[in-house]
Structure 1
Amino acid sequence: MAHLESRKHISPDSGFPITLHPNFNPKIKDYVPPDPIREEFHPDKDRASFADPEKKALFSIAKRVDLTELIGTRLENIQLSQLSPQQLDELALLVAERGVVFFRDQDLTTEGQVKLFEHYGTLDRHPAQKDQRHVIIRGSREDHREILKYTPWPSGEWHADTSFEINPPSYSLLRMEEHPPVGGDTAWVSQYGLYDALSDAMKKFVDGLHAVHTSRLQYDTILDLWGTGPNRPPIDTHHPAVRTHPVTGLKALNVNTGFVTGFAELKKQESDKLLEFFAYHIHSADDHYVRWKWTVGAVAMWDNRCVVHRVIPGTYEAPRKGIRTTVFGEKPYFDPNSESRNERAKQEKESMINGENGATDGQTQTPA
């Protein structure tokens, strides 16, 4: 917290830092980003679209271990560096279905990781990222509840990476190079599950809304707290509050507390209350949640279109360093004819039952 401008202005009455609006902070007010705001573009077809739905090539070498019913799978007996293009496509499909897939003891280097992830599309660049190919991810040892008093971005909250972009990321991969023995875990929540957990009436309501995603709060905080310069000016985008995943065709909630500040169609008080509900909804989603304990050489690959995540803050002293690569995705869209994961599962179950009944009836009607 040493970089915070508010730390330089202490109240003589309370002895605590004075809360300063960012516009009065010259580090923020006078900064000129070097790059322009991105324009929308149309990425190549998602690699998961080319995968065998049964993933036979991938599962011929990998053992699958589902960590929860609805989110998170660990693949064993596998090295990412050795996967064929077909197996990489099937991995993308598994990630799109399960939200996040984990690996232990990987032999990837940074160069190998970058090359591998270029298979999935054009590499994205975080606003604070200096290297075009990857960003270094550190730990979180700050008290984010305290920081929020002095800088506007809720940096410890659930988020999908840079969801404010016109083309937000699709896949992200994080590989851990240094890590403490305890602490520094990362957690993910399924946005398929968050949508399914809503009442039918709430689903119909949210289906018609646009969430206001903004980088402004992070922009201010990058300058003030991190002491570095964002690459691009701040941006506000209105994305569907429920999006349709282009590969699975499933509905996923597209709201996160890290970057969403409201809902375009609602009045201020309505918007604030709905955002407050979604903060509760995400934080109470234990049945759609998975938490990963990192080790050196461990890797997680996730789909930002159907999960949110956050690093769990801690007080560990040992260094934590990860390398993250990310690729651009499509501009979020909502197809009113798409279905939720629960609706699809129900339809598949009914189809199976009807098929079994049909087979039984056919056997009964066959003459002896």
Structure 2
Amino acid sequence: MARPAPKDSLEAYKHLSPDSGFPTIIHPHFNPKIASHVPPDPIREEITPPKDRAFFADPAKASLFSVAKPVDLSESIGTLLEGMQLSQLDGKQLDELAALVDERGVVFFRDQDLDTEGQVKLFEHFGTLDKHPAQKDQKHVTINGSIVDWRNVSNYTLWLNAEFHADTSFEINPPSYSLLRMEEHPPVGGDTAWVSQYGLYDALSDHLKKFVGGLHAVHTSRLQYDTIIDSWGGEPNRPPIDTHHPAVRTHPVTGLKALNVNPGFVTGFAELKKEESDQLLQFFKLHIHSADDHYVRWKWAVGSVAMWDNRVTIHRVIPGNYPASSRTGIRTTVFGEKPYFDRQSESREQRISRLAAEKAKKSNENGVEHTSELSIHASNGVNLGAS
């Protein structure tokens, strides 16, 4: 079955070479609406968001797991919670859900009874609701179907639409948590894939970890801004921005290092020349698309929900042949902290190794103590055999 053609609303499609079939230029400023648009809202200033709810959670998550069965979908990322309704969780259980999302990157649910009002009310527990530049309603944004394949669209526009990204990572305060609830969905197609940035960082060589840890990635909204106007026919709320964030960040709750690079919004590295940036970005694109051991793919259905942490995951919709109008979801997000990097923080693999070593040491110490006790009892003529 042939894949549908990309959206023909892009201005570049009106400027194709009759010989090659490709646009004579791909810069979207061909569209005069981009230059004439005046966003109604100013560029945001940095804020201090409310304390992450995961800080208030029981690390064992006993309350959450008393009503839900966790099923890990891969070793690195993704957990399905079975047998529960999000609408029935209390504040303590929601805090523990936040902690689980921090650790597993994305958590999934089936057959949920939430409606939009209930989703908004529930998600306000996790912080201050964010607003996407294309979003009209402060409380939520509607996510429509996407059949666009970035490998094709990149021939016509500079923005890699539908590539791996973290939601609005270009903001000075990028979102921490996002939640998407599906209201309409085709029986096949429209899956979403997530990749763990904990895992992406761990998979680098030690030398590259050190090098990238000294860089700042340039996250830009400019290409999406142009596309919102040119392709979507929208009117962005805020002017385009470029923001420098650490290329490796430390998660405030888990204390773990994660890569902070995504092809959807990162255009370079502040400390490098353009040629160097381009080559490093090309490597990271390959690194991300090769990360099948740090990857999970979710098959949606009506009533399915995913909650993820944008600080330690990236995601993309998988393009397909389904009608775009058959896929509709409601997404809510909340503000996160300004990304930071603590060089003394651990990676996930480092923590796993450290905890295993500490456990082995404790076990050995207990074994020595137990052996000493046996020697004492034996010297006193105590029968240590079966009674």
Secondary structure, in 3 states, of the residue corresponding to 1:229? coil
- Residue 218 (structure 1) aligned with residue 221 (structure 2): no
Secondary structure, in 3 states, of the residue corresponding to 2:358? helix
User: Could you report, residue by residue, the CA deviation over 1:287-310 in whole angstroms, capped at 9, with x for unpaired residues?
Assistant: 000000001000000000000000
Secondary structure, in 3 states, of the residue corresponding to 2:231? helix
- Residue 329 (structure 1) aligned with residue 350 (structure 2): no
TM, length-normalised to structure 2: 0.93
Map 1:26-105; keep pairs closer than 5 Å.
Answer: 26-105=32-111
Secondary structure, in 3 states, of the residue corresponding to 2:71? strand
Q: For 1:13 and 1:280, locate their aligned partners in 2 and report how far apart those are by CA, in whole Å.
A: 31
Map of 1:255 onto structure 2:
261
Secondary structure, in 3 states, of the residue corresponding to 2:267? strand
Amino acid at match of 1:112: G
Contact 2:54 2:98 in 1 (8 A): yes
> Radius of gyration: which is bigger?
2
- In structure 2, relative to structure 1, the CA distance for the partners of 1:112 and 1:27 (3 Å cut) is same
Contact 1:6 1:20 in 2 (8 A): yes
Contact 1:7 1:18 in 2 (8 A): no
Gaps of 5+ in 1: none
- Residue 275 (structure 1) aligned with residue 315 (structure 2): no
Q: For 2:82 and 2:294, locate their aligned partners in 1 and report how far apart those are by CA, in whole Å.
A: 23
Match of 1:118 among 106, 118, 124: 124
Map of 2:383 onto structure 1:
none
Contact 1:214 1:234 in 2 (8 A): yes
- Residue 6 (structure 1) aligned with residue 12 (structure 2): yes
Map 1:162-241; keep pairs closer than 5 Å.
Answer: 162-241=168-247
Map of 1:348 onto structure 2:
355
Q: For 1:145 and 1:6, locate their aligned partners in 2 and report how far apart those are by CA, in whole Å.
A: 16
Q: For 1:226 and 1:97, locate their aligned partners in 2 and report how far apart those are by CA, in whole Å.
A: 35
Q: RMSD in angstroms over aligned alpha carbons?
A: 1.2
Contact 1:242 1:254 in 2 (8 A): yes
Q: For 1:172 and 1:258, locate their aligned partners in 2 and report how far apart those are by CA, in whole Å.
A: 17
Q: CA deviation at 1:146?
A: 2.6
Map of 1:286 onto structure 2:
292
Q: For 1:64 and 1:20, locate their aligned partners in 2 and report how far apart those are by CA, in whole Å.
A: 46
Map of 1:161 onto structure 2:
167
Contact 1:57 1:87 in 2 (8 A): yes
Match of 2:317 among 311, 316, 323: 311
TM, length-normalised to structure 1: 0.98
Moved more, 26-35 or 229-238: 26-35
- Residue 295 (structure 1) aligned with residue 295 (structure 2): no
- In structure 2, relative to structure 1, the CA distance for the partners of 1:103 and 1:203 (3 Å cut) is same
- Residue 360 (structure 1) aligned with residue 367 (structure 2): yes
Amino acid at match of 2:78: G
Contact 2:176 2:333 in 1 (8 A): yes
Aligned length: 368
Q: CA deviation at 1:16?
A: 5.1
Contact 1:64 1:75 in 2 (8 A): yes
Q: CA deviation at 1:3?
A: 2.0
- In structure 2, relative to structure 1, the CA distance for the partners of 1:251 and 1:143 (3 Å cut) is closer
Q: For 2:27 and 2:354, locate their aligned partners in 1 and report how far apart those are by CA, in whole Å.
A: 52
Q: CA deviation at 1:17?
A: 4.3
Contact 1:151 1:220 in 2 (8 A): no
- In structure 2, relative to structure 1, the CA distance for the partners of 1:196 and 1:177 (3 Å cut) is same
Contact 2:22 2:155 in 1 (8 A): no
Contact 2:251 2:258 in 1 (8 A): yes
Amino acid at match of 2:359: M
Contact 1:139 1:313 in 2 (8 A): no
Amino acid at match of 1:264: A
Q: CA deviation at 1:70?
A: 1.1
User: Could you report, residue by residue, the CA deviation over 1:187-214 in whole angstroms, capped at 9, with x for unpaired residues?
Assistant: 0000000000001111111111100100
Contact 1:65 1:74 in 2 (8 A): yes
- In structure 2, relative to structure 1, the CA distance for the partners of 1:92 and 1:35 (3 Å cut) is same
Q: For 1:242 and 1:179, locate their aligned partners in 2 and report how far apart those are by CA, in whole Å.
A: 35
Amino acid at match of 2:285: A
Amino acid at match of 1:169: P
Secondary structure, in 3 states, of the residue corresponding to 1:295? coil
Secondary structure, in 3 states, of the residue corresponding to 1:226? coil
Contact 2:29 2:226 in 1 (8 A): no
Amino acid at match of 1:166: I
Q: CA deviation at 1:136?
A: 0.6
Amino acid at match of 2:360: I
Amino acid at match of 2:268: G
Q: For 1:86 and 1:27, locate their aligned partners in 2 and report how far apart those are by CA, in whole Å.
A: 48
Query: Identity over aligned residues, as a percent?
Result: 73
